[in-house]
Amino acid sequence: MEQTIIHQIEEKYKNLGENPETYLKGLLQAKPINYWDYVEVDTLLSLQKPRTNFKDEEIFIMYHQVTELFLKLMIHEIKQIVYSDSITETFLITKMSRLNRYTTMLINSFDVMKDGMDYDDYNTFRTTLAPASGFQSAQFRLIEIYCTRIKNLINQEGKKRISDQPSIEEYFEHIYWKDAGLNRKTGEKTLTLRQFEEKYLDRFISLAKKVKGKTIEEQILKIENPSNELTQILREFDCLYNIKWPQVHLNTAKQYLDKKGENQAATGGSEWKKYLHPQFQQRKFFPELWTEHEISEWGKSTNI
């Protein structure tokens, strides 16, 4: 057995045009791996840098970092679908089931935010965070671009403004999330939106062009007669990510920004009651899988 493994190692490096002996000598000097180095535990635990002395601010930071890691997990799965040259139903069911699992965990985890921080402390330390906003999560936007055609990210008001044959750039001028920081009458943008666009907009446009024709929605449209199992899993993901998660986020915002009727502003300056609601966002990844009635009722209930 040992000779077989050594032979396989030698063959591996010979096939790469390398000298196997060099790598075997290196293996003799290599230190054993351990959990804390492999997972980068010390680095991970050093990434929380509160701006105040309020203890719950660290909870706020860690929760958002956990969320970003979950979004990265989702993108890891999504890329395998988008960049696959050969899609099977079994493959899609496996990957989409994972995405549903991750999204469900994000939804269920929101109690950490909703019930896990002191109300008065949060409403004090949050003032130091402006103009930063969860709106500025680039990974959230990347998931949208990977999942569906850009035209599905334009709400009804946006569709009234857009031309008959819009370019990718024009689509992004009217994309639903811009309404969180853009006054359409005056053209004035919040600092939150300006910062976000300066950092990420070119990347978003480039990705949208790169995945045109390859989004999850478009990969599914290539499948003739998708099974009921796959259809239900796709509908579940659409509902979880585009209705239930925004609604949980909205309810959490209400918990802290309007619990006592103060109607406080979001740190990013958005009209959060309107912007966060799925009825306003009207985001659907797979509109072909929904009836006209279901689309008209989008976001009014989580029981779709």
Kindly report, residue by residue over 42-93, the tens digit of the pLDDT.
Answer: 999 999 999 999 999 999 999 999 999 999 999 999 999 999 988 899 999 9
Report yes or no on 31 lying in a domain: no
Query: Has residue 123 got a pLDDT over 90?
Result: no
Report yes or no on 249 lying in a domain: yes
Report yes or no on 50 lying in a domain: no
pLDDT value of position 272: 60
Report yes or no on 152 lying in a domain: yes
pTM of the entire predicted model: 0.90
Phi then psi dihedrals of residue 129, to 5 deg: -90, -15
Query: What is d(CA 239, CA 2) in angstroms, rounded to the nearest whole number?
Result: 52
Confidence of residue 299 (pLDDT cuts 50, 70, 90): confident
Q: Is the peptide bond before 166 cis (omega within 30 degrees of 0)?
A: no
Work out the average pLDDT over 218-244. 95
Domain range enclosing 229? 71-296
- Torsion-angle region of 124 (φ positive above 0: left; ψ -120 to 50: alpha; else: beta): alpha
Report yes or no on 151 lying in a domain: yes
Query: What is d(CA 123, CA 300) in angstroms, rounded to the nearest whole number?
Result: 29
Residue located via tokens 């500025």: 136
Report yes or no on 20 lying in a domain: no
Domain count, the chain: 1
What spatial distance separates the first Cα and last Cα of the chain, rounded to whole Å? 56
Helix/strand/coil for 258: coil
Report yes or no on 41 lying in a domain: no
pLDDT tens across 131-177, in order? Answer: 999 899 999 999 999 999 999 999 999 999 999 999 999 999 999 99
Residue located via tokens 């999204």: 103
Report yes or no on 109 lying in a domain: yes
